[in-house]
Structure 1
């Protein structure tokens, strides 16, 4: 089950299978992907929080509820499942046009860790842990792990996490740059709300284009990055919020951003 509510311009997406440490089922995955797409398209939504109930953020994928093809598995089926499943989920977070904040309340393992790392900002409770659990099962990391981690902590640290599969406490994750801030468990929701509502009051289109530029920066050469930056600035300058930002500066007042 996935809980959803929109409050003060923030879309709250909450994984709600605490008895299963919020291991993501096929239905939950599709629901989260749809909600992220809705957030991109809805002008009333200007930030997203991804969190969970109970002691776990997400213990990984639960494939027991996946639709059956009704035939024997053949070569290509698993790769297709990964492309259409875990990779689509991570891609939905990366491609969401609104800032996505992870509020990690507990264990984030496997695809659950990658779900957090794909978010634009990560808050974690002091008790939270991150586990690259795949090696414990003799598996290769999926859900974009080998793409995300080297970009966040460098290849050597990424290999250490993935080769050993040790639990990484939230304070250590923060020191490595995987987490923005660690807070007491009782303050996680309050802090996430404060951050998300601050984002929701910002210049939404400028944030969306900034997110695109940063996410693409490590995959492009300088000329391509500079060209994309110039076009992003050009696009942003046509928005109402950009005009408001300049006007508020000249008039020495707090800007009133509307998100467009």
Structure 2
């Protein structure tokens, strides 16, 4: 299977699983990725999502053999039916998504990672906006996300030149959250997902929504948005539990409700 999906506790673990192709996407893999993201959205017991790759790479982007296949889906369908739905589902998922970048993340693979809520990487991992090297433009939301993460000049240079960015440099420039050494990466990145899965899920989902709204609203409008979302958050069972736990000086037991 090109995607391996597991439920472990309250975490939905998605493993990109074409290691012989450095986990490059083809149509089968892209459609299956969408199916498991939909399952994560539907399942109430899944309260966080963890995406990683099998083998040496996180994801090398698009399988170019499919692009050049005259019987293949063609570039238009690859974007409209593969990558755009994947990154949209991740961004709109009302649960936190961790990208655990275990190796190289190139092209669409890099941008799928960058659209996740928390991106961590192994020390040996790297990120490449590989599009210009084959005469394409960055897609999969890259032209939206990267300038907002690292600034216009840095994003422009990385996309035009296609430079390889080591994980430590990606952390330094604010592209990703944190780097773990290779030996502790799997454990440390998984602990992040487990931690998120025990937190107040609805509030985290509303935090994601507030962040998305902030790109398109004025300060005044965003204050109004925060007010609306805060009223919704204050009506959740987890808010009541959080306040009670604080007053009783104990660890809260959030249920995601």
Taking structure 2 as the reference length, the TM-score comes to 0.94
Shift of 1:83: 2.5
Counterpart for residue 42 of structure 2: 41
Tell me if the contact between 2:27 and 2:78 (Cα under 8 Å) persists in the aligned partners: no
Q: Cα RMSD over matched residues?
A: 1.9
Counterpart for residue 196 of structure 2: 199
Tell me if the contact between 1:202 and 1:259 (Cα under 8 Å) persists in the aligned partners: yes
* Structure 1 residues 69 and 137: alpha-carbon distance in aligned structure 2, compared to 1, 3 A threshold: closer
Give the paired residue count.
255
Distance 1:69 1:203 in 2: 48
Counterpart for residue 91 of structure 2: 94
Counterpart for residue 214 of structure 1: 211
Shift of 1:253: 1.2
The within-5 A match list for 1:40-59 is 40-59=41-60
Tell me, which stretches of 5 or more residues in structure 2 are unaligned? Answer: none
Distance 1:168 1:144 in 2: 18
* Structure 1 residues 80 and 110: alpha-carbon distance in aligned structure 2, compared to 1, 3 A threshold: same
Of 218, 229, 234, the match for 2:231 = 234
SS of residue in 2 equivalent to 1:85:
helix
Tell me if the contact between 2:245 and 2:251 (Cα under 8 Å) persists in the aligned partners: yes
SS of residue in 2 equivalent to 1:254:
coil
Taking structure 1 as the reference length, the TM-score comes to 0.93
Shift of 1:209: 0.2
Tell me if the contact between 2:202 and 2:233 (Cα under 8 Å) persists in the aligned partners: yes
* Structure 1 residues 217 and 127: alpha-carbon distance in aligned structure 2, compared to 1, 3 A threshold: same
SS of residue in 2 equivalent to 1:259:
coil
